[in-house]
Amino acid sequence: MVNFDFEPVTLRELLPRVTFDGVLQTFILFSTVAAMALLTTPGYVKAGCLVGLFSQPFWFTATWRARQPGMFLVACIQTGFWIRGIVAYS
């Protein structure tokens, strides 16, 4: 016979290795790759710029927390280029 008795499990027990930085890196990975894929697809350049702009807060937060001023500056400059692309393809 199958035993269906179980104790409740908390989310913390299910996902013990999830950290804020890990979540940031995951969002950076997927949003940036999606932006690059869209930028290289004809007709979807503006969408790529929008997704890229969406990824910037994650870049800002990750580089600020890691105390990487050079990468933070690159993220700021990159934000300008994402906005420029949105305006150019509007």
Residue ranges per domain, the chain?
A: 39-90
Cα–Cα distances in Å, from 21 out to 18, 64, 66, 85?
Answer: 8, 11, 9, 28
- Residue percentage of the chain with pLDDT more than 70: 94
For tokens 């350049």, name the residue: 45
Question: pLDDT tens digits, residue range 21-47?
Answer: 989 999 999 999 999 999 999 999 999
Question: pLDDT tens digits, residue range 60-86?
Answer: 999 999 999 999 999 999 999 999 999
